[in-house]
């Protein structure tokens, strides 16, 4: 039907017209599902970002989650967000859009968020039960007025609507390609490509956490997915994916 040309991603696709949150449902069914299963919905009533922040998900956007069960060490888990971001950027390129990756979990066009990625899962130090990767991509959906300064859709960039199903098919194929490389341990390639599309490497950034704010230049990402910042005095500091927000100074 959809004619998806993939090995793992999208072996099973669960399509819903409406759902509370694709990630919540994916986490619920993950223990029983095989890896590669996708949940995709036209509308999320309670789409989420990190820390229960709202992700606006009206009709016209691509709101999906994928269930993964990689047999890897915990240190490699955060790189799955990089895998997703690369797949999103390559998908945008197929439609003539140049996306940039903002550490840790966003894809930007013209400095506005076109896609958010939310990684959640169940794992211990020595085994991964499942990882759920939520990808919210603004395709043809309207951006609410109060988010117009920070958010953008593919339709707004191009000036015309794009076939949602084509975006979906493309994204699954790119995700499959990058996930197979990930399973093959091609971490160096993933980090290199990620850096090539990064909106932050080489830039002055401000990292805003609950209790502190760090200003410096983003110089690199590490194998564990953390961002390396050079502070004014030259010392290097690792910033971990968690509840920190990155702003451009």
Query: Site residues (CB under 6 A) for ligand ADP?
Result: 49-50, 53-56, 105-106, 113, 116, 136, 138, 147, 150-151, 245
For residues 209 and 30, give the distance between their C-alpha atoms in angstroms, rounded to a whole number. 31
Q: Which helix (H) or strand (E) holds 80?
A: helix 79-94
Which residue, 35 or 63, is less far from ligand ADP as judged by CB? 63
CB of residue 51 vs ligand ADP: minimum separation in angstroms?
6
CB of residue 105 vs ligand ADP: minimum separation in angstroms?
5
For residue 164, give the DSSP letter.
Answer: H
Which residue, 12 or 161, is less far from ligand ADP as judged by CB? 161
CB of residue 116 vs ligand ADP: minimum separation in angstroms?
5
Which residue, 49 or 222, is less far from ligand ADP as judged by CB? 49
CB of residue 104 vs ligand ADP: minimum separation in angstroms?
8
- Contact indicator for 205, 216 with CB cutoff of 8 Å: yes
Comparing every residue's Cβ against ligand ADP, the nearest one is 49
CB of residue 214 vs ligand ADP: minimum separation in angstroms?
16
For residues 244 and 210, give the distance between their C-alpha atoms in angstroms, rounded to a whole number. 7
Q: Which residues contact 113 (CB under 8 A, 6 or more apart)?
A: 102, 106, 107, 138, 150, 151, 152
Q: Which residues contact 177 (CB under 8 A, 6 or more apart)?
A: 87
């Amino acid at each position: 039907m959809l004619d998806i040309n993939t090995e793992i991603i999208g072996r099973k696709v669960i399509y819903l017209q409406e759902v509370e949150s694709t990630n919540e449902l994916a986490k619920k069914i993950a223990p029983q599902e095989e890896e590669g299963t996708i949940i995709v919905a036209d509308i999320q009533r309670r789409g989420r970002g990190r820390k229960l922040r709202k992700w606006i998900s009206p009709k016209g956007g691509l709101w999906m989650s994928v269930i993964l069960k990689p047999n890897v060490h915990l240190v490699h888990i955060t790189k799955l967000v990089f895998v997703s971001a690369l797949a999103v950027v390559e998908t945008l390129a197929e439609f003539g859009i140049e996306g940039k990756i903002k550490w840790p979990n966003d894809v930007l066009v013209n400095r506005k968020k076109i896609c958010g990625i939310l990684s959640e899962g169940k794992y211990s130090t020595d085994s991964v039960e499942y990882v759920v990767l939520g990808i919210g991509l603004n395709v043809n959906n309207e951006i609410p007025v109060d988010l117009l300064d920070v958010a953008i859709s593919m339709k707004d960039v191009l000036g015309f609507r794009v076939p949602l199903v084509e975006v979906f098919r493309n994204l699954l194929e790119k995700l499959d390609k990058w996930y197979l490389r990930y399973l093959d341990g091609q971490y160096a390639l993933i980090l290199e490509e990620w850096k090539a599309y990064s909106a932050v490497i080489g830039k002055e950034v401000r990292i805003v956490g609950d209790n502190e704010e760090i200003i410096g230049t983003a110089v690199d990402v590490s194998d564990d997915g953390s961002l390396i910042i050079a502070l004014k005095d030259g010392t290097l500091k690792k910033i971990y994916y968690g509840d920190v927000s990155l702003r451009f100074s």
